[in-house]
């Protein structure tokens, strides 16, 4: 991204100033890093509270990748169950529960309500993702709901972790690859356990990106079958 920005600066230095480039870098790093880290933390907590899902994901990784190497980016599209886990995590715990504000450009009527021009709208993705009228057992962690062909696409506007339309998050593709690769590595290479005598606290904390109220603390140990691959790092 920086390379592109600097090349644009050479052609149009008045528009692509150093201040503009630094602001864009800070925005991308802040938005992408915080939201991806939050999604990873929720995913690992959900897996620890649903060990059968964790074991199924690990079995898929062992079958598709083996135990002689680490997962790579090109492996992610071939791991459908892992992608189901990420989608289900984003459904239950969207990184940005209230989507970026939208504003009506003209007077309109939506669902029988008159909406004046200039009305600001904040879409509650968290509530949409847990609507019992459109989701089967909406409070349950069921990655299988996305296993059907095009499961995420069929969800349509019921599934909005990255927003929708022209203001949809441009980092969706990168986020899905990043979370997929990181989660695959954690599941594939390590054994995960809860702290002795403690349960995972799934309480949601305050903030625009909905962090966990209590940061996750767990015990992890390298899988013996992956020690050789890890030693090559």
User: Strand runs (DSSP E) across the chain, as ranges?
Assistant: 102-103, 108-110, 113-115, 120-121, 190-194, 218-222
CA atoms within 13 A on the CB side of 167: 9
Cα–Cα distance between 178 and 114 in angstroms, integer?
41
Strand partners, 115: 108
Instruction: Write the DSSP symbol of residue 119.
Output: -
Query: DSSP letter string over 59-76?
Result: HHHHHHT-SSS---GGGG
* 220 marked ligand binding residue: no
Q: Yes or no: say if 82 and 61 are a contact pair by the CB < 8 Å rule.
A: yes
Other beta carbons less than 10 A from residue 11's beta carbon: 8
Instruction: Write the DSSP symbol of residue 204.
Output: B
Q: Binding site residues for heme, as ranges?
A: 169
Q: Which residues are annotated as a binding site?
A: 169
């Amino acid at each position: 991204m920086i390379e592109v920005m600097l090349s644009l600066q050479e052609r149009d230095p008045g528009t692509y100033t150093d201040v503009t480039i630094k602001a864009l870098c800070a925005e991308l790093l802040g938005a992408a890093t915080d939201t991806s880290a939050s999604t990873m933390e929720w995913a690992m907590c959900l897996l620890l509270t649903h060990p059968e899902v964790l074991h199924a994901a690990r079995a898929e990784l062992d079958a598709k990748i083996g135990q002689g190497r680490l997962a790579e980016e090109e492996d992610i599209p071939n791991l459908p169950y892992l992608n189901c886990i990420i989608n289900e995590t984003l459904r239950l715990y969207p990184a940005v529960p209230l989507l970026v504000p939208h504003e009506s450009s003209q007077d309109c009527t939506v669902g029988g309500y008159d909406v004046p021009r200039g009305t600001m709208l904040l879409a509650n993705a968290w509530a949409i993702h847990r609507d019992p009228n459109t989701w089967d057992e909406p409070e349950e962690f069921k990655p299988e709901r996305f296993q059907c062909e095009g499961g995420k696409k069929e969800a349509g506007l019921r599934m909005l972790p990255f927003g929708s339309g022209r203001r949809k998050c441009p980092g969706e593709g990168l986020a899905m690859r990043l979370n997929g690769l990181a989660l695959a590595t954690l599941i594939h290479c390590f054994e995960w356990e809860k702290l002795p005598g403690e349960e995972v606290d799934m309480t949601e904390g305050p903030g625009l990106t909905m962090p966990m109220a209590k940061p996750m603390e767990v015990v992890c140990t390298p899988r013996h079958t992956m020690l050789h691959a890890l030693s090559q790092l």
